[in-house]
């Protein structure tokens, strides 16, 4: 190795160490949201810790740890942004900090979202992932292009959720990204890498398909089912999704089996706490204005909104609230007090709102005071 190469390597390693050191020191001081970088998916409410994070030339890297009943915690590494010559040096300290899950020797899972970079940098990152024995995954909304595809193939096993994309891009519109179809050296390197990662059969098929789409202006897009057929990803994502699953999702399924809990056709669950004194009273309609007291919590008991704690009842039209409330209060009569378990699709869904993260079920204790009421 030349002196210049040695100096470059030492510089990269030092930079990686310093960025990791300073990022870790500052990381805990900044509030974090629960969105997985580069995706539309979220980490589980109340079970995630952001260990450290850095940003190098637009590449964001975050070490995330999720509480797990089987082994205490599972480690994930989120990678979002363009891959470059220093990527492997920056990422390696993060990989070495990831811990195996119980007796499982694997160090965790790398979640990738990247528009690509030079293929050589993708090969290098893929080899690093293989060296550390980590899994690779793409979650909802993520795109992994060109060099990122090469890096992704270095993980084992590999998971790909719906609405994620692998893209092998043409270099015609974006120089430096993708494969130069006229370069024997680059084409040979691509084939050798695919075969090394996927075996001669699947690697050969992927190579032939990649080359047949090599000059396509938009490249070649691979979705989850295509990835399964090509042997790129696992057919069953369950082992991965169980690691990510918010306990609240399991909570809804388990809660439905409890005595006294009623589940409607929409998926709304409720139980009666007490009934009002007037059994023949009318229930509100979807357009009624109602006066209520309510107490809203997450499945783990944390309060996010409560008229009870504010000491003041709330008045609103039922057609201007979340669907779970609109449906649920029409089951009540004045004086009734119910507990509702509202799935995300009947609450704030994938967007979330205020203190409520995306894809979060909610629990409300609601007392219907009267139909009508002044603002």
Provide the phi-psi class of 260: left if phi over 0, else alpha when psi is between -120 and 50, else beta: left
Give me the residues paired with residue 285 across strands. none
Query: Mapping DSSP to helix (H, G, I), strand (E, B) and coil, where does residue 64 land?
Result: strand
What's the length of the chain?
375
Find, among 153, 150, 157, the residue nearest to 134 by Cα.
Answer: 157
CA separation for the pair 211, 170 (Å, rounded): 10
SS3 275: coil
- Catalytic: 364? yes
CA distance 156 to 73: 19
Q: At residue 110, what are phi and psi to the nearest 5 degrees?
A: -100, 130
Q: Is 123 a catalytic residue?
A: no
What is the distance between the alpha carbons of residues 150 and 194, in angstroms, rounded to a whole number?
8
C-beta separation of 190 from 207 below 8 A: yes
Q: Catalytic residue, from 55, 180, 226, 305: name it.
A: 305
Query: Rounded CA gap, 349 and 255, in Å?
Result: 19
Reply yes or no on whether 94 is catalytic.
Answer: no
DSSP 146-180: THHHHHHTTSSSEEE-TT-EEEE--TTTSTTSS--
Show Cβ contacts of residue 65 under 8 Å, excluding neighbours closer than 6 positions.
48, 49, 50, 51, 73, 74, 75, 76
Is 251 annotated in the active site? no
- Which of 322, 338, 340, 342 is labelled catalytic? 322
CA–CA gap between residue 9 and residue 90 (Å, rounded): 11
Catalytic residue list contains 132: no
Q: Are 366 and 340 in contact (CB under 8 A)?
A: yes
The catalytic position among 94, 179, 348, 366 is 348
Measure CA 250 to chain center: 17
The catalytically annotated residue of 342, 364, 366, 371 is: 364
In this structure, the strands spanning 220-222 and 303-306 are: unpaired
Active site residue 270: no
Q: Active-site residues: which are they?
A: 294, 304-305, 322, 348, 364
């Amino acid at each position: 190795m030349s002196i210049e190469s040695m100096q470059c390597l030492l510089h990269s390693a030092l930079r990686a160490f310093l960025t990791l050191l300073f990022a870790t020191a500052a990381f805990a001081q900044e509030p974090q949201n629960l969105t997985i970088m580069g995706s539309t998916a979220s980490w589980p409410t109340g079970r995630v810790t952001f260990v450290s994070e850095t940003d190098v030339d637009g590449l964001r890297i975050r070490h995330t740890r999720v509480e797990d009943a089987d082994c205490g915690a599972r480690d994930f590494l989120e990678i979002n942004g363009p891959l470059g010559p220093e990527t492997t040096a920056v990422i390696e300290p993060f990989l070495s900090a990831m811990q195996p899950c119980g007796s499982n020797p694997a160090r965790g899972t790398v979640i990738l979202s990247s528009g690509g970079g030079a293929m050589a940098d993708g090969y290098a990152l893929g080899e690093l992932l293989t060296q550390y024995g980590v899994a690779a995954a793409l979650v909802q909304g993520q795109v992994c292009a060109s060099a990122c595809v090469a890096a992704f193939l270095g993980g084992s096993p590999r998971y790909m959720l719906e609405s994620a994309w692998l893209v092998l891009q043409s270099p015609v519109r974006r120089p430096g990204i993708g494969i130069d179809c006229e370069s024997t050296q680059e084409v040979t390197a691509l084939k050798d890498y695919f075969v090394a990662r996927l075996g001669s059969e699947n690697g050969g098929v992927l190579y032939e398909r990649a080359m047949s789409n090599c000059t396509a202006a938009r490249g070649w897009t691979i979705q989850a089912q295509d990835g399964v057929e090509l042997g790129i990803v696992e057919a069953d994502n369950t082992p991965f999704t169980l690691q990510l699953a918010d306990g609240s999702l399991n909570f809804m399924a388990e809660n439905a089996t409890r005595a006294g809990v009623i589940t409607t056709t929409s998926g709304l669950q409720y139980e009666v706490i007490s009934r009002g004194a007037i059994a023949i009273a009318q229930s509100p309609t979807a357009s009624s204005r109602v006066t209520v007291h309510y107490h809203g919590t997450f499945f783990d008991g944390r309060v996010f909104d409560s008229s009870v704690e504010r000491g003041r009842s709330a008045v609103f039209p039922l057609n201007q609230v979340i669907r779970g409330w609109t449906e649920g209060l029409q089951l009540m009569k004045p004086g009734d007090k119910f507990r509702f378990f509202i799935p995300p699709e009947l609450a704030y869904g994938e967007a979330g709102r205020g203190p409520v993260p995306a894809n979060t079920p909610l629990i409300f204790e609601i007392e219907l005071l009267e139909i009508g009421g002044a603002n």
